[in-house]
Amino acid sequence: MRRKQNKFIIVALLAFFSLTLLPAQAMASDYGPWLMSWGSKGNYVKTVQEDLTKLGYNTYGADGIFGANTHRAVINFQHANNLRADGIVGPHTKEVLNQNLSYTNYKVQWGDSLYKLSQRFGVSIESIMQANGLTSTTIYAGSTLKIPAKNTAYQPPAQTGSRVGEMADWWSVVNYAFPRGAVATVTDVDSGITYQVKRTGGSKHADCQPLTAADTAKMKKAHGGSWSWTRRAIVVSYNGRNFAASQNCMPHGNQSIYNNDFPGHFCIHFLNSRTHGTDRLDGAHQAMVRKAAGS
């Protein structure tokens, strides 16, 4: 009986010392992607090596083996991101690594604007401003901006016919999000009538024209059957977004579409847009913008 007890004690001690003396690095691979350190192996390590190298922390190869070069790269990454520099890729380090991979650092050049950068990188102006904590669209040559990764996820089309729109600023958002040459769907808030328009100009607000004669007829119907300077609340749907806006229905000025039965263009105003002639906020237009936003 005593011999069996001694044997049990010896086995238990061996198990205890084997766990105690086993290096933490060797155990790390058992935790899959959530804990990787010196000695870890596998595809998760390879992915981390590729990600670190992409960010400029060279692991000198992505062989799936967590060795000295990978350890040094992890330490450098942790130092640069104010993390505990222990050389272990745990959940927090992996989270910060993923966040860094979501951005591209870009040095602003002369002539750059947020609009140009949004077009170049395929992301919205708002996402660039949010990533950099910007409250103004002004950027300066020589500064470095974080450019968010392009969102390739499916984006649903604008729900045309919506009678409530987004209260978006003309100067920092709509002027770029609804560019010249774009064709949008307009929904008259009171009647629900929809028609298509093309932005053909305008800098302080959007100068637009009905796309076809049928669109002109529907727009005229929404305005009571006649041309009018009366402001009406509308929602402009373009590229997945619905913007609160206001328009008149009086043809004036230049035109570029000649087969639409509309001899000129009309004005669409958005939040904080201004008149071209007097450079002022039009109170009646702004009231209709607020109405279109449901306020």
Compute the distance between CA of residue 89 and CA of residue 97 in angstroms, rounded to an integer. Answer: 9
Which residue, 189, 255, 174, is CA-closest to 222? Answer: 189
Mean local confidence (pLDDT), 101-128: 80
Instruction: Return the structure tokens found at 111.
Output: 């002539």
More confident of the two residues 33 and 162: 162
Q: Which amino acid is at 37?
A: S
pLDDT, tens only, 121-130: 777 776 788 7
Cα-to-chain-centroid distance, residue 149 = 8
Which residue, 137, 174, 138, 160, is CA-closest to 271? Answer: 174
pTM beyond 0.95: no
What is the pLDDT confidence band of residue 4, given thresholds at 50, 70 and 90?
low
Compute the distance between CA of residue 261 and CA of residue 212 in angstroms, rounded to an integer. Answer: 8
SS3 for 225? coil
Task: Write out 48-97 in H/E/C secondary structure.
Answer: HHHHHHHCCCCCCCCCCECCHHHHHHHHHHHHHCCCCCCCCECHHHHHHH
Within 13 Å of residue 5, how many CA atoms lie on the same side as its CB? 2
pLDDT, tens only, 198-257: 999 999 999 999 999 999 999 999 999 999 999 999 999 988 889 999 999 999 999 999
Cα-to-chain-centroid distance, residue 26 = 41
Evaluate whether 234 touches 218 at the Cβ level (below 8 Å).
no
Mean local confidence (pLDDT), 276-281: 92
Among 82-91, 110-119, 175-184, 280-289, which stretch is predicted with the lowest mean pLDDT? 110-119
- Sole residue written with tokens 């967590």: 66
What residue ranges define each of the domains in the chain, with the CATH number in brackets? 2-101 (1.10.101.10), 103-148 (3.10.350.10), 170-292 (2.30.110)
Q: Which amino acid is at 221?
A: K
Compute the distance between CA of residue 205 and CA of residue 270 in angstroms, rounded to an integer. Answer: 7
What is the β-pairing status of strands 206-210 and 241-249?
Answer: unpaired
Residues ≥6 apart with Cβ < 8 Å to 192: 161, 163
Compute the distance between CA of residue 189 and CA of residue 231 in angstroms, rounded to an integer. Answer: 12
Sign of CA dihedral 27, 36, 30, 68: negative
What is the β-pairing status of strands 228-238 and 241-249?
Answer: antiparallel
Residue 243 exposed, middle or buried by CB count within 10 Å (0-12, 13-18, 19+)? buried
- pLDDT of 6: 56
